[in-house]
Amino acid sequence: MESLSPPPFPSNGMGAMGGGQPSNAGSPLSSSSYETSSPYPPRSVRNCNGVELDWEQPDISQLILSDKPGREDMSSPSSYNGYGTESSDYKKKKGPVPRQQEELCLVCGDRASGYHYNALTCEGCKGFFRRSITKNAVYQCKYGHNCEMDMYMRRKCQECRLKKCLNVGMRPECVVPESQCQVKREQKKARGKEKKEYPPVGSPIAEEKFPAVSPCNTMGPSEQRTSTSTYYNKLYAGCISLNLSPVPQTIKPNMPVPPMTSDQEELISTLVHYQEEFEQPSEADIKRIQEIGISDGDSEDPKFEHITKMTILTVELIIEFSKRLTGFGDLLREDQITLLKACSSEVMMLRAARRYDAKTNSIVFGNSYPYTESEYETAGLGFSAPMLFRFCRNMCRMKVDNAEYALLAAMSIFSADRPFLREAYKVQKLQEIYLNALIAYVANKRAVNSYSIMIGKLLNVLTELRTLGNLNSEMCYRIQLTDKRLPDLLNEIWDVTPK
C-alpha cells in the first residue's frame, strides 16, 4: 500500500484524507458546491443494450461534507532535498497466494495463481479482465443478467463474468494500456541497439571513436544535438503513452526557448502556494488523528497504526490541494471523485519523495518521525518499501524542485485515462495546461542542452507513479489477509473490500 507505505508527508506530502473521519473537520473530498448528503455515485459497466451493471462501490459521502479553511498558520514546508534523477522502471510483483488463504479464484472458483489487478484470481480470469478493459469490450448476457459464475459459466456469459470481476475488487485502472506497453517494448529495443552500437569503454575502437575528455569539458554541438534528439523522441513517445498531446516544436533541439507566459507564471505560483499550504499536517491535525481508534484490540502493531494514521492525514491534505487546482472545480462531481480516488496513492508517493532524507535513508513523517526501510518491514509494509525507497532516491538525485513536484502532482491528478470518467476530454485539456506549464518552466530553468532530457525524465516519473499506485493497491489487499485492518476511509478511497 504505497501510500500506506509512506504517508506522504509534510513537505510534499503529508496529505490528509479523512479516513475514519476526523473529528472536527469534514472530509477533504468536499467542496462548497457538493451536496453533502449525496453518496458517491456507483461506477457502472454497461452491456450492449445500455443497461448499467451495478457493482459494489464504497459510500464515501463522508468525504464530501465540507471545505477546510486555509492553513496559514502552517510552517512553510520545503522538500528535504533536491530530488532525484533517473527514474527506475519497477515491475509489479505478483505475490504468491498466502498458504493460509484458500487458493481459489474469487471470480470462477478455479485454482488461483495469485493477485491480479488487486484480486485473488486464476490466470484465465486475469487474462479475460485485461482483454476486456484494454479493448473496452461490451458483452451481453443471454441468461437474465444474473448468472452464477463458475468454471462452466465463465465461458458462457462474459457480461456476468466481467461484472463478477469488478465485484470481487479487480480494478480497471491497474491494467496497463496497450499503447504504454508498446512504447516500453520499443524503448527496450532501442536500448538494446544502443548497447550494440557503442563498443565497451576502454576498447581500442572506443578510444578511437570516443576520445577521453577531461571532466570539465562538455559535449560538442553535434553530440548535444544527437543526445537531445534521442531524448526528444523518447519524450514524444512518453506523451503518447500517457494520452498527452504530443509536445510540439517547443522542445525541439536548437530552437530558442520561449519565455513563460504570465498565465503560466501565475498558475505555477498558485500551485506551489497550495502545495505548501496543504502539505504538512498541523499539530491539531496530528492530535486529532491520534485520538481516532483504528484497531479493534490491543494487538495492533503501533508502527503500522502510526503509518496508517499519517496516511489518512496525507490523503486529506491531497484532497484539499486537489480541490484548489485551476479547473478542478469545473469538472463533474463524479469525475472529481473518480480522479481523487485514482490519484491519491500516486500523489502520496511524490510527497514521500519530498520528505525523503538522503542522509538517513528515511522518510520523515509530519511529526518529524523518520521511517527507514527496516521500520516499514517491522510495520508489516515491507512488500512495497524497496520500490518506494528506490523511487525516493531517484527523485532525490534528479533534484526536482518545488514547482516541478507541484506540476507533476497536478498532472497525476488530471489523468484522462482513469476508468469511468464521464468527461475525460475536459480532464485531458486540463492536463495539457499543466504539461505545457511544466515544459515552459523546465525549458526556462534548465540549461539549454539538458532541459529536454529533464522533461523526458519528469514525464517518465508519471509512469513510475502509476506502477507504484498499483503496488499500493496490492499491498492493501495483502494487508487484508493478515490480522491488521485498514481504516474505513482508506478502504473506501482505494476500493478495498473490508474483512
Cell 500523489, residue located: 347
C-alpha–C-alpha distance, residues 107 and 484, integer Å: 24
Task: Indicate the burial class of 169 (C-beta count within 10 angstroms; 0-12, 13-18, 19 or more).
Answer: buried
CB 328 within 8 A of CB 335: no
**pLDDT by residue (tens digit) across 383-426?**
788 899 999 999 999 999 999 999 999 999 999 989 889 999 99
Whether the CB-CB separation of 493 and 473 falls below 8 Å is answered with no
Whether residue 55 has pLDDT greater than 50: no
**Is residue 158 a contact partner of residue 485, using CB atoms and an 8 Å limit?**
no
pLDDT of residue 102: 57
Q: pLDDT averaged over the chain? A: 70
Q: What are phi and psi of 372, to 5 degrees?
A: -95, 175
* Contacts with 334 (C-beta within 8 Å, 6 or more apart), sequence order: 40, 41, 422
Number of Cβ within 10 Å of residue 177's Cβ equals: 15
23 in Cβ contact with 328 (< 8 Å): no
pTM exceeds 0.75 for this model: no
Across the range 166-192, mean pLDDT stands at 74
**pLDDT at position 281:** 83
* Least confident segment among 163-167, 377-381, 389-393, 437-441: 377-381
| Cα gap 363→355, rounded to integer Å | 6
All residues at 6 or more sequence positions from 89 whose CB lies less than 8 Å from its CB, including other chains: 184, 463, 464, 467
Q: Tell me how many degrees the CA angle 120-336-454 measures, rounded to the nearest 5.
A: 85
Selection from 94, 162, 96, 104 nearest residue 133 by Cα: 162
Q: Could you identify the residue written with the cell 516544436?
A: 249
Q: Are 85 and 457 in contact (CB under 8 A)?
A: yes
Q: How do beta strands 362-364 and 370-372 pair?
A: antiparallel
- For the segment 135-155, the average pLDDT, to the nearest whole number, is 90
- Distance of alpha carbon 487 from alpha carbon 292, whole angstroms: 10
Terminal-residue alpha carbon distance, the chain: 16
Q: Which residues pair with 54 in a beta bridge?
A: 44
Is the CB of residue 106 less than 8 Å from the CB of residue 99?
no
Q: What is the pLDDT of residue 62?
A: 44
pLDDT reported for residue 48:
41
The whole-angstrom separation of Cα 67 and Cα 103 is 45
Percent of the chain whose pLDDT exceeds 90: 26
Distance separating alpha carbons of residues 453 and 451, to the nearest angstrom? 5
pLDDT category, 275, cuts 50, 70, 90?
very high
Residue with more model confidence, 391 or 31: 391
Rounded to an integer, what distance in angstroms lies between the CA atom of residue 232 and that of residue 291?
Answer: 51
Whether residue 472 is predicted with pLDDT greater than 80 in this model: the reply is yes
Nearest to 347 by CA among 303, 293, 396, 311: 311
b/e 14-23 (16+ beta carbons within 10 angstroms → b): bbbbbbbbbe
> What domains sit in the chain, N to C, each tagged with a CATH number?
10-42+59-95+256-493 (1.10.565.10)
Is residue 104 helix, strand or coil? Answer: strand
Report the pLDDT value the prediction gives residue 346, as an integer from 0 to 100. 93
pLDDT in tens, 74-112: 333 445 544 333 333 333 334 444 444 457 899 999 888
- Of residues 374 and 407, more confidence is placed in 407
Per-residue three-class SS string for 257-291: CCCCCHHHHHHHHHHHHHHHHCCCCCHHHHHHHHC
Report the alpha-carbon angle 276-282-288, nearest 5. 140
